[in-house]
Chain A
Amino acid sequence: MIASAIAGGVIGTLAMVTIIKAASELGMSRMDLPLLLGTIVTANRRKARAFGYVFHFLIGIVFAEAYGGFFEIIGRSSWQLGALLGALHAIFTSTVLVSVLLPVVHPRMATPDTAANKITLIEPPGFLMLNYGRSTFVVTLVAHIAYGALVGLVVRV
């Protein structure tokens, strides 16, 4: 399961970053996950995106392992089940993980309470990450469903 989850995580994350980048190019969202993640370790925009892509793929693999663990517990896997998990994952990401927890740990991201005595570089995502554009949640949902479906398709239990 571990090897197939790694493969599923890589393929799923590739699909996810492609969808998000395409949405960005189409003017649907300003969400830039590589930049958000990479700026945790550097304020250099050039390096941040490179770090961010590595982080994102690593996180994608970790989540694919978690999906695999869930598939093992229930004794089956399918792309439909993966897509459902992906949808739940998107809701968790948009309401808690990125919108609440990331600003708390991110040294360069503002929170809604950031005041004049602190200078940050990245605006907070806001509820459902809507600060990055009104279609951001829809883009996130579609990207995570695609990720989950691919993980569900690849992971063997």
Chain B
Amino acid sequence: MRLDGYAAIEDYAVIGDGRTIALVALDGAIDWLCLPNVDSPSAFAALLDTDRGGSFALQPAVPFQSTRRYLPRTNVLETTFTTDQGSVRLVDAMTLPNDDVDPMRELVRSVEGVSGRVPMQWRCAPRFDYGRARPRCEWRHGVPVAAWRAEAVGIVSWNAGTPAWRDDGAGASFDIDAGDRALLALTSAYAEPLILPGRQDVMARLALTIEFWEQWSRAHDYAGPWSDAVVRSALALKLMIFAPSGASVAAPTTSLPEEIGGQRNWDYRFCWIRDSNFMIDALLQLGCHEEARSLFWWFMQATALTVPELHVLYRLDGGLGDPEHTIDLAGYRGSRPVRVGNSAVEQAQHDIYGALFETAWLYSEGHQSLDQDTGAVLARIADHVCRVWRQPDSGIWEVRNGPFHFTHSKVMCWVALDRAVRLAERGELPAGGGPRWRREAEAILAFVEAECWSESLGSYTRVAGSGDVDASLLMLPLVEFPDPRGTRIAGTIDAVNRLLRRDDVVYRYHADDGVPGGEGCFLNCSFWLAGALARCGRVDEARALMERLVARANDVGLHAEEIDPDSGALLGNFPQALVHLALIDAAIAISKCGAA
């Protein structure tokens, strides 16, 4: 199951509580958990260093096979271990607070004997601060507690053996018979006393958590095609919304590699402006109006520090992104460096203005009108777009050898000004800027038509004047780019199909981007292709592609950023919000276009 101690990326599932997310491997080990928040330093990071990262393993002490699923329509994971001596069911969840004296964060592991008598073992070895801190291993009334500075983790257990500390890890062995139950609760605190809960309280919170997720799924039901995949994506996205601020994290992990052994390892635990329009659109399509409003409010608050310029990404608390640095971990299967922070924050990426305006437009269309202050801020940003769109930038893919005149960035600047004009016409932005925004939008359109089209490729190009195609251009039909000649978007889709597609999945480009090493196919681009085909009327083609892409998910319906087209192995940070957003968009687009 493991290679050099590392599980395959597709062998992970996620559990979370809207504040942090844990990655649980198929063999029952929790190899990634940051505390107290998803963007805090890790307590378990065996995902990135099996020796020093720390983990919380719970599994049979004899050879086993395992299968798993989420409890229907929840983010509660159920793993079934089958051994020669019997089988055991493990339910993992991060519980939601009950407005009582709840632990600051709580991860519950409930074990139930299904058949026979199975010897079990567990070991919890927290390693704070990305494995750099050696914890103080202590006892509180018989409960093992690991502490470092203001952080503490306790492991409360019932019928799960007698715990003992060994090599800075607490663990025990126990046998479980059919019908017996054991329970473990990992409780954590930061800058406050640790809460050591009672068994009934833990069980009550677990029941409440299951009930909440079931209710949430029922309230945001989707009856179209690929409903299981769409609902699973919605549940995964809900986990990635950081409840204390409403921001959404791009992925809960850092430095899962885009190529095994490679250097393309990035920290995605930030909120990208770019994802916002997809997120708002998906939330509104699924009836999550409150989440959409919360996210929009967060964007208006977060961007207030930098207006009229926008940063590419923001911290989940609304602050500006942290500087990128590397940390001394071995890296997933030797993929180094391991990075914390993301230097993309320093880049100019003009497409984010289009993303913000598309977000505002969708929010205004689907929910409620913008207030005067928000309208005034957006007007300042639109004026800024008029000033910057002629400048080169680093583009959607955050290339490190730029800047260039990316076609996608120009198109998204057009989106920004087009939506600004539309909002002004509805009286939601000051009307004074309207004529200038319209004039500049037309200038962008003329630039793209003249400079970003290749007759030889029969496609819009990656960069003005280049001979490359880029999968980001699949977004053109999504953002309603007008394509004045009516044939160029179809030509671009054909070019992506011809030059970037490999089986059912799509590379984002083949050009040099200033970072050494290779990468897999991008799953969000692959879903964009399905959506683009549907929007161009090629619904049968889109449907066939979608069937194959949905099947590319792991056994619990989760997608990573990328996939190795040969082996089918998942690559990159996991699970990735943008991929699940693209899946939802493609499913809805195919459903609508197919019905039309």
Tell me the smallest distance from the CB of B75 to a CB of chain A, in Å. Answer: 8
Q: Determine the distance from Cα of A119 to Cα of B60 in the docked complex, in whole angstroms.
A: 39
Kindly name the residue among A111, A123, A134 whose own CB sees the greatest number of chain B CB atoms within 10 A.
Answer: A123
B243 contact set on A, CB distance < 8 A? 110, 114-116, 118-120
| Count, A-B residue pairs, CB within 8 A | 92
A113 contact set on B, CB distance < 8 A? 19, 97, 102, 104, 244
A144 at the interface (CB under 8 A from B): no
Q: Are B238 and A110 in contact (CB under 8 A)?
A: no
Contacting B246 at CB < 8 Å: which of A46, A115, A120? A120
Q: Are A121 and B212 in contact (CB under 8 A)?
A: no
The interface bits of chain B over 276-301 (1 if a CB of A lies within 8 angstroms of the residue's CB, else 0) are 00000000000000110110011001
Q: A30-B301, A30-B318, A111-B244 are in contact. Are A116 and B238 (CB under 8 A)?
A: yes
Q: Determine the distance from Cα of A121 to Cα of B301 in the docked complex, in whole angstroms.
A: 10
B244 contact set on A, CB distance < 8 A? 110-114, 120, 123-124
Q: Are A121 and B305 in contact (CB under 8 A)?
A: no
B373 at the interface (CB under 8 A from A): yes
A95 at the interface (CB under 8 A from B): no
B374 at the interface (CB under 8 A from A): yes
A126 at the interface (CB under 8 A from B): yes
Tell me the smallest distance from the CB of A100 to a CB of chain B, in Å. Answer: 12
Within 8 A of B (CB), among A96-137: 110-124, 126, 130-134
Q: Determine the distance from Cα of A81 to Cα of B307 in the docked complex, in whole angstroms.
A: 37
A89 at the interface (CB under 8 A from B): no
B298 contact set on A, CB distance < 8 A? 123
Contacting A123 at CB < 8 Å: which of B16, B241, B306, B318? B318
A123 contact set on B, CB distance < 8 A? 244-246, 298, 301, 317-318
Q: Are B290 and A112 in contact (CB under 8 A)?
A: no
B557 at the interface (CB under 8 A from A): no
Tell me the smallest distance from the CB of B179 to a CB of chain A, in Å. Answer: 31
B392 at the interface (CB under 8 A from A): no
Q: Are B18 and A116 in contact (CB under 8 A)?
A: yes
A130 contact set on B, CB distance < 8 A? 319
Q: Are A117 and B305 in contact (CB under 8 A)?
A: no
Count of chain A residues with Cβ under 8 Å from any Cβ of B?
A: 32
A56 at the interface (CB under 8 A from B): no
A111 contact set on B, CB distance < 8 A? 244
Nearest residue (CB) in A for B98 is A117
Q: A110-B245, A131-B317, A133-B319 are in contact. Are A119 and B97 (CB under 8 A)?
A: no
Nearest residue (CB) in B for A133 is B305
Q: Are A46 and B18 in contact (CB under 8 A)?
A: no
Nearest residue (CB) in A for B293 is A121
B246 contact set on A, CB distance < 8 A? 110, 119-121, 123
Q: Determine the distance from Cα of A113 to Cα of B104 in the docked complex, in whole angstroms.
A: 7
A45 at the interface (CB under 8 A from B): yes
A4 at the interface (CB under 8 A from B): no
Q: Are A122 and B297 in contact (CB under 8 A)?
A: yes
Q: A30-B318, A123-B301, A133-B305 are in contact. Are A115 and B96 (CB under 8 A)?
A: yes
Tell me the smallest distance from the CB of A132 to a CB of chain B, in Å. Answer: 7
Q: A27-B306, A113-B104, A115-B97 are in contact. Are A132 and B318 (CB under 8 A)?
A: yes
Tell me the smallest distance from the CB of A7 to a CB of chain B, in Å. Answer: 29
B318 contact set on A, CB distance < 8 A? 30, 123, 131-132
Q: Are A116 and B317 in contact (CB under 8 A)?
A: no
B71 at the interface (CB under 8 A from A): no
Q: Determine the distance from Cα of A114 to Cα of B317 in the docked complex, in whole angstroms.
A: 13
Tell me the smallest distance from the CB of B194 to a CB of chain A, in Å. Answer: 14
Q: Are B290 and A119 in contact (CB under 8 A)?
A: yes
Q: Are A45 and B97 in contact (CB under 8 A)?
A: no
The interface bits of chain B over 418-457 (1 if a CB of A lies within 8 angstroms of the residue's CB, else 0) are 0000000000000000000000000000000000000000
Q: Are A112 and B373 in contact (CB under 8 A)?
A: no
Q: Are A115 and B17 in contact (CB under 8 A)?
A: yes
B36 at the interface (CB under 8 A from A): yes
Q: Are B16 and A116 in contact (CB under 8 A)?
A: yes
Within 8 A of A (CB), among B238-261: 238-239, 241, 243-246
Contacts from A to B (Cβ < 8 Å): 24, 27-30, 32, 43-46, 49, 110-124, 126, 130-134
A to B CB contacts below 8 Å, 15 in the list = A30-B304, A32-B304, A44-B371, A112-B244, A113-B102, A115-B18, A115-B243, A116-B239, A119-B291, A119-B294, A120-B246, A120-B294, A122-B301, A123-B301, A133-B305
Contacts from B to A (Cβ < 8 Å): 16-19, 36, 96-97, 102, 104, 212, 238-239, 241, 243-246, 290-291, 293-294, 297-298, 301-302, 304-307, 317-319, 371-374
A-B residue pairs, 7 tightest by C-beta: A116-B18, A45-B371, A123-B245, A30-B304, A46-B371, A110-B244, A119-B290
